[in-house]
Amino acid sequence: MTETDARFQHSHAVYVGSFDPMTLGHLDIVRRAAHIFARVTVGIGINPEKASLFSPDERVHLCQAATADLPNVEVTTFDGLTVDFVRQCGSRILLRGLRSLTDIDSEFTMSLTNRVLDQEIESVFLMSAERYAHISSSLIRQIAKMAKGDVRVRLQDFVPPQIIDPLIEKLKPDTMSQSNLSAF
């Protein structure tokens, strides 16, 4: 790889995760990355064995809606190994977000494993703002399901505005039975 090739590939970061759903913490990482890198791909990992609230297509649409103001951000799904997906994107940068020391522990193991799988892929970590450090998709799914009163107001501190209504709709009792969520 020439130095120019490497620079080109290093200007494109691939941010991978489940994004079920995208949270304000995820969005903070995407915004920071969009300022640093020329191009950012949000890669939604599809694991058919893992129960999810939103389908892959729904997650793509929600992430696209939440990042619509960021012209250098694109959203897509992938299956298989993350390092293979990063390579398919023409990038060598695997981006992950950090909330806490607990995240560092698991991300450390994952990035060492990914380095064994593909030495040319560099894992890069960004920290979200402190006010988003407690936010996770699983927490949001719980709040959306259990909150009483004005759920919309309660969710606005956790998810991008575009995600509030789809989340409430998805968790309505009559929709829940049709959802692909089983381990919730």
**Residues found near ligand ADP in the complex (CB under 6 A):** 17-19, 23, 25-26, 29, 96-99, 103, 128, 132, 135-137
172 catalytic? Reply is no
Question: Is 50 considered catalytic here?
Answer: yes
Q: How far is the CB of 104 from ligand ADP (least distance, A)?
A: 9
Residue whose CB is less far from ligand ADP, 9 or 128: 128
CB of 3 to ligand ADP, least distance (A): 29
Catalytic annotation, pick one of 12, 26, 59, 141: 26
Catalytic residue status for 10: no
Q: Which is nearer to ligand ADP, 8 or 143 (CB)?
A: 143
- Smallest gap from Cβ 17 to ligand ADP, in A, equals 2
Task: Name residues whose C-beta falls within 8 Å of residue 113's C-beta, 6 or more positions apart in sequence.
Answer: none
Annotated catalytic sites, by residue?
26, 50, 99, 137
